[in-house]
Amino acid sequence: MGMTANYPDQYAEALALQLTPLELEAVLDLARVVAHGSERHFAPLSTYLAGQFVAELVRTGVPREEALAEAIAIAERTLGGESSPNGSPPAS
């Protein structure tokens, strides 16, 4: 089974989940920020934890996009960085 450009969409579908382009970009940005701001092997763990955090907030009624932005902002604060006004990682 080869890796394809649409792997994230295929994986989300196999998990019976939806993945928006904004979420895809945000999660990859989170992994990049963590990998460059700490040890690289913490990036997958951070995205896993962010997913749990987002799911928990969504269960309480917070929109997914807002929950994801908060997860990213928390990661940046934990790393000692600044987040942009929308909670997205700053462009590098």
The per-residue pLDDT for range 54-91, each reduced to its tens digit, is 999 999 999 999 999 999 999 999 998 654 444 444 44
10 burial level (CB within 10 Å; 0-12, 13-18, 19+): exposed
Q: What is the mean pLDDT of the chain?
A: 87
Residue range 13-41: average pLDDT? Answer: 93
> pTM higher than 0.75, yes or no?
yes
25/65 Cα distance (integer angstroms): 12
Residue 3 vs residue 20, higher pLDDT: 20
